[in-house]
């Protein structure tokens, strides 16, 4: 893939019956979209992308969240898991992002404050 390609990761379980929220569905401008409902599905999707040799220069997370944490369905992912949890550290997901990567958090305030900066 060329520089400029975007991976979209969105919470496929976040739709509600009250209103339609376009943040939680596949985007046309993404090179590849992963709609997941829990952390296990995210791991499976990212592992498949690594195995396929895919690369991206941008990643867009469209999920619920709070400073330093995002949510996939009822599963929280906190910033410190990326350095202390072997399911993340031994995954080789860094191969997906061999460029300077722009990380975008659409939706809630995941990147806010000190915890968000750590994320």
Give the pLDDT of residue 1: 40
Q: Which residue has better confidence, 20 or 57?
A: 57
Q: How far apart are CA 84 and CA 70, in angstroms?
A: 17
Confidence of residue 3 (pLDDT cuts 50, 70, 90): very low
pLDDT (mean) for 31-43: 91
Gap between the Cα atoms of 89 and 82, Å rounded: 6
pTM of the model: 0.82
Q: How many CB atoms lie within 10 A of CB 60?
A: 20
Write down the domain spans for the chain.
6-100
Give residue-wise pLDDT tens across range 10-22.
888 765 544 455 5
């Amino acid at each position: 893939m060329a520089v400029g390609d975007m991976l979209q990761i969105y919470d496929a379980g976040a739709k509600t019956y009250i209103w339609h929220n376009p943040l939680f569905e596949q985007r046309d401008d993404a090179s590849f979209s992963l709609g997941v409902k829990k952390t296990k599905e995210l791991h499976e999707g990212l592992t498949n992308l690594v195995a396929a040799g895919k690369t991206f220069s941008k990643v867009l997370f469209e999920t619920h969240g709070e400073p330093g944490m995002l949510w996939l369905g009822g599963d929280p992912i906190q910033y410190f898991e990326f350095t202390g949890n072997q399911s993340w550290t031994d995954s080789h997901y860094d191969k997906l992002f061999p460029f300077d990567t722009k990380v975008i958090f659409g939706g809630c305030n995941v990147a806010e404050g000190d915890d968000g900066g750590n994320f």
